Structure 1
Amino acid sequence: MNTASRRRFLSAAAAAGAAFTAVPSRAIAGAKFVAPSDRVNVAFIGAGTQGIRQLIDALPRGDMRVAAMCDPNRRSDDYVEWGRNEIRDKVRRFLGDQSWGADAKGCRCGREIGVELVDRHYAKAGLGWKCAAYADFREMLAEEKGLDAVYNMTPDHLHGSVVVAAMRLGKHAITHKPVANVFSESHLAMTTAKETGLATHLFCAADKHTTPLMCEWIRAGAIGAVREVHNWTTRPFWPQGMIELPRERPPVPDGLDWDLWLGPVPPRPYHPAYTHAVFRGWLEFGSGALGDMGHYSFSQIFRILNLGVPSAVEAGRDQFWKIEDCLWIKQENAVSFPRASMIRWEFPARDGMPPVALHWYDGGMKPPLPAELGEDGEDLPEEGMMFAGDEGTLLADFMGDNPRLIPARKMRAFAKPPESLPRPLPELDQWIKACRGGPATEASFERAWPWSQTILLGNIALRVGKKLLWDAAARRFTNSDAANSLLARAYRPGWEL
């Protein structure tokens, strides 16, 4: 890299660091902020395994009160968890009650469980608060006038409906990823957040201290101008690759309001293959491996490189064939995400930095082994992210941990620059401060919009099977009507946004 080019690159990289600069407190008419001395009154929407995990983390906070719990499932023992008795043991530790769930036949969750945890915690703390319970979040938002915010932990297909409805009623919103699993809803959530000035946040590892650290290294010219980024995961380990919907018609479990669980999705018969943690693999209900995991890594990659919106995306995925009448016949998959895929986005030059190609791999796929690792006799980690620059390579674990230059001799010789960018607060701390009128979070719906839409465009490319050209200003593909038809969902009457 010549001196002039290097100077332009370092100047542009410095501009990327501006993404970590705090935004001044907002004073937008109509936004209802909470006084610093008051607790934020929150409604938890979604009491499955992820919701219970988050609830246990949130309840001890002195700056938040869980005032209502909502889930269309009353309670059941059929939830899917990451480890045997993980939820039971977590609840027992939280309550200090080693007998909790002794009669459970499996993983127990649901709105009654959420209410129990809230009421027992506040009773033990001597606060005496009681938690209201609802099956329908729309009813809850209409009746609970004292709510300041919603904490959304529902399956992906409900995210857009929940956060948009809440913001339209003046409630701040925090949600597990994604903001929505269809493009039009994600865009609506972003614009609604912008128009209302409410505090929003997308859970996506937006509190990693390695994010500004890697930005500082790249700003210092550790690997030169970055032209490629590779990101890979072992997900999915939930079912994907199904080529047809379940044919069995089991009865709807007692206590589950299946109609409410479907939300905006057109009616279909109940099946346990759709619910709880396994919703992720279905096109209607989930976001696939990319939507489930990509937000964690993309939130860092986008802020490090100051990425905006891609100009093009293309994808490759697994295929299935069957033998019928002595012929090989390809199986078309129009119902679920693939078991394995590779996706490539193209980003134009910005602020003096060169164009970048971002590569995603899932289902056990990885990029080719870089020569630098071969020099050290190492292999790529099972999951990771890798920045390839003109003058070197930066490798990190999937969530950005353990960043290092490769080969090892370059890391040993690297003079680490001084800390120059602020380190983010924990995600909930960021959001509570925003609810009180402080700076927008690192992953407010507006800030998360570039990587949110990038992920959604990637999922569309998986379904269309051709290179797609994206017009960000028009919010449409210029070369595929089929792809454009997937930017919005077909709504069940009464659920339109």
Structure 2
Amino acid sequence: MKKDLTLNGSNLPASDIEKQQATSGGKSQMDRRKFVKMTAAGALAFSIVPRHVLGGAGFIAPSDKLTMAYIGCGTQGFRELLPLLAVPGVQVVVVCDPNQYAVGYRDWSKNGLRDEIRAAIGKADWNPGGDNTIPGGRDNGKDIVDTYYSSKRGGDNFKSCNAYADYRELLEKEKDLDAVKIMTPDHLHGLFAIAALKRNKHVLMHKPLSNRLLEGKAVIEAARQSKTVTHLVPWDSNGSMEQVMEWINSGKIGKLKEVHNWTNRPVWPQFPTLPTENVPVPDGLNWNLWLGPEADRSYSPEYTNMFFRGWYDFGGGSMADMGHYSLWTVFNALQLTSPTVIEPNLSHFINMNGVVPNYVRNDFSFPMASSVRFKYPANGDRPPVDLCWYDGGMRPPLPDELMANNEELPAEGMMFTGEKGKILAGFNIQNPRLFSRRKKPVTATTQAIQSYAHDNMVSALTLFADSCKSGQQYPGSFIEAEALTEAVNLYAASLRAGHLLKYDAVSRQITNLPDANKYLSRQYRSGWEPGVI
């Protein structure tokens, strides 16, 4: 494989593309959507071996395929497994999940995922087994991979993929792997990524890098030391800041003061008290492996599957879930690095202890609703700016410009507030509207957002595979996500502490409330330390 091939079909090296992506404003920031289109076309061509070599267009020799382990066989894991199987340059050879059977899973609809799997693998009567409701578990994962390859890529002479419950065992036995994709609950992301990077495996991972700040920093450091390719999936769905920065840089809203971003998440239950019901561990689930580095506790279905995001131990909350999709290009364009102050506001829970109301001190689950303000210092020509995140139905105050027009803020959105005006946009910065003092609103041309539609995912996954083959990192790496990783973990720490935090980025310490530093790391169970697995 030629090492001098570029990923965008031009003469611009991948390293220069990354520099353009990190440059603020309309001056030199490359439109991420243009990059995806350019690289998709180049990568698809890059993947095809000439007919005279292998005797068929589109066929890739087994020795040229990127061998991958797929870690995490839950519902979202399966949704992203299906397009991965359609990438000619990738061969999934291993699946891993501590749960063996399709028991106890939940999803957005009863039969939607099952029907997606049936269509993808070409088997109209496929059923998940288990409790025969929602697909999930490593047995389903192995079956999906084997069935797809036998029916869609029978000429590849594939061997049945292996299946493991324990990621550590997988890494020990499957030494010839090229890459892993990590689709586990959040508390396993960081450890699993570090373990793969130390073994020089390419890593494709869903958000977040970690649900602890210091562990996230360790992931980034491992990525810096490794010569492998890393990619955080939400990059592929971020919106463009091109029009917004053009308006900001031309002074249309005056000096930028605030960025507001709000979501309707959580769309999963969040609990004000710990589970108390004694529930047996489902057959086929290794609860110890599911807990991983976190402290031992009794099994509860309220911890697992769609529920894990709401717990500090296992998830990252609404900002870790959705902020990666909306804020990454915002961080790049505005050159946001580390906040100095994090100010939380959060809902609380009251129960009755006999006849007396009792405030429940919650140090275990995210609140039903919150807003968190991050204060970022000036950076170059960009003045200090506040970033305000809202979830659980919370939104910023309704702007006068919308109130005068009998409009309300949407359930999810983005707003840039300056001294002389505002820019209102969709959650992923789509369809920005300029409200400037004493002038009529200006609406920009609709900006399409990359989505998780099958074809878009196949293109994005092809980029990853070809980047790994060429040895060239492309935009969306773990290293580029450092500032965002810091923000989402400080969001969680501030909510958990329930107090304003002052943060020193150099020491990675909270300076005004020393006890809150415990929320920046975790106490690892024996055998699950980052240097052990």
TM-score range, shorter chain: 0.7 to 0.9
Change in CA separation of 1:299 and 1:488 when aligned onto 2, cut-off 3 Å: same
Query: Within the alignment, does 1:157 sit opposite 2:187 as a pair?
Result: yes
- Asked if the contact 2:68–2:179 (Cα under 8 Å) also holds between the matched residues in 1, the reply is yes
Structure 1 residue 216: deviation in Å?
4.2
Partner SS state of residue 329, structure 1: strand
Aligned counterpart, 2:495: 462
**1:321 aligned to 2:350?**
yes
**What is the SS of the residue equivalent to 1:166?**
helix
The correspondence for 1:253, drawn from 282, 307, 324, is: 282
State the match for 2:106 in structure 1: 80
Does residue 54 (structure 1) correspond to residue 83 (structure 2)? The answer is no
1:69 aligns with 2:95: yes
Other-structure match for 2:18? none
| Paired residues of 1:386 and 1:393 also in contact (CA < 8 A) | yes
Q: Which amino acid aligns with 2:441?
A: K
* SS of alignment partner, residue 94 of structure 2: strand
**Greater CA drift, 393-402 or 362-371:** 393-402
Deviation at 1:143, TM superposition (A): 1.1
> 1:144 offset after TM fit, Å?
1.1
Aligned AA (1:66): V
Matching of residue 350 in structure 1 with residue 350 in structure 2: no
Q: 2: distance between equivalents of 1:176 and 1:358?
A: 23
CA deviation profile, 1:298-352 (whole Å, cap 9, x unmatched): 2132123121111110101111123335433211112111110010000001121
Question: Partner residue of 2:12?
Answer: none
Answer yes or no: is the 8 Å Cα contact 1:12–1:353 preserved in 2: no
2:201 to 168, 171, 189: 171
1:99, distance to aligned residue in structure 2 (A) = 1.4
The CA distance in 2 between the partners of 1:289 and 1:229, in whole Å, is 17
Match of 1:26 in 2: none
Deviation at 1:39, TM superposition (A): 2.2
Aligned 1:98-109 pairs, distance under 5 A: 98-101=124-127, 105-109=132-136
2:67 counterpart residue number: 41
Alignment deviations for residues 234-259 of structure 1 (CA, whole Å, 9 cap, x no partner) = 1112111422x212222111111111
**How far has the Cα of 1:19 moved from its partner?**
9.8
**Are the equivalent residues in 2 in contact too, given 1:205–1:399 (CA < 8 A)?**
no
Residue 43 of structure 1 and its aligned partner are, at CA, apart by 0.6
1:93 to partner: Cα distance? 1.3
Inter-partner Cα distance in structure 1 for 2:66 and 2:440: 50
Contact 1:16-1:305 at 8 Å conserved across structures? no
Secondary structure, aligned partner of 1:68: strand
Match of 1:95 in 2: 121
**What amino acid maps onto 1:366 in structure 2?**
R
For 1:138, the equivalent position in structure 2 comes to 168
In structure 1, the residue matched to 2:225 is: 195
1:450 counterpart = 2:483: yes
Partner of 1:440, secondary structure, is coil
Structure 1 position 410 matched with structure 2 position 437: no
Residues 63/485 of structure 1: CA separation in 2 closer, same or farther (3 Å cut): same
CA–CA distance in structure 2, aligned partners of residues 373 and 398 of structure 1? 17
Q: Unaligned regions of 5+ residues in structure 2, if any?
A: 1-22, 36-46, 50-59, 447-455
Residues in 2 aligned to 1:230 and 1:131: alpha-carbon distance in whole angstroms = 46
- Residue 271 of structure 1, CA deviation: 1.2
1:119 aligns to 2:146 (yes or no): yes
C-alpha contact (below 8 Å) 1:16/1:304 kept by paired residues: no
| Counterpart check, 1:440 vs 2:473 | yes
Alignment of 1:237-386 (within 5 A): 237-243=267-273, 245-386=274-415
After TM superposition, the score normalised by the length of structure 2 is 0.82
Q: Equivalents in 2 of 1:305, 1:372: separation in Å?
A: 24
Partner of 2:509: 476
User: 1:285 aligns to what SS in structure 2?
Assistant: coil
Q: Secondary structure at the match of 2:491?
A: helix
Answer whether contact 2:102 2:132 (CA < 8 A) is retained.
Answer: no
Is the contact made by 2:24 and 2:332 (CA closer than 8 Å) also made in structure 1? no
Instruction: Report the more deviating stretch, 376-385 or 13-22.
Output: 13-22
Distance 2:128 2:297 in 1: 35
Would the alpha carbon gap of residues 218 and 442 (structure 1) be closer, same or farther in structure 2, given more than 3 Å must change? Answer: farther
Structure 1: 5+ residue runs without aligned partners?
A: 1-10, 23-33, 417-423
Q: 1:436 to 1:73 in 2, by over 3 A?
A: same
CA distance in 2, matches of 1:217, 1:59: 42
- Equivalent position amino acid for 1:308 in 2: T
Residues 19 and 306 in structure 1, CA contact (< 8 A), matched pair in contact too: no
Q: Distance in 1 between matches of 2:383 and 2:514?
A: 30
Q: Secondary structure at the match of 1:99?
A: coil
Work out whether residues 300 and 400 of structure 1, in 8 Å CA contact, stay in contact via their aligned partners in 2. no
Q: What is the CA-CA distance between 1:427 and the residue it aligns to?
A: 4.0
Identify if the C-alpha distance between structure 1 residues 432 and 393 changes in structure 2 by more than 3 Å, giving closer, same or farther: farther
Task: Tell me, yes or no, if the aligned pair for 2:211 and 2:316 is still in contact at 8 Å.
Answer: yes
Query: Can you list the C-alpha shifts for 1:210-253, whole angstroms capped at 9, x where unaligned?
Result: 3444344444444343210111111112111422x212222111
Where 1:78 maps in the other structure, the secondary structure is coil
Using the aligned pairs only, state the percent identity: 40
* Helix, strand or coil at the partner of 1:280: helix
8 A Cα contact 1:78 1:108, kept in partner: no
Q: Do the aligned partners of residues 212 and 142 (structure 1) sit closer, same or farther apart at CA in structure 2, a change above 3 Å counting? A: farther
Secondary structure at the aligned position of 1:154 is classed as: coil
Cα distance change on mapping 1:213 and 1:152 into 2, 3 Å: farther
Give the 3 Å change call, closer, same or farther, for CA 210–441 of structure 1 in structure 2. same
Q: How many correspondences in the alignment?
A: 468
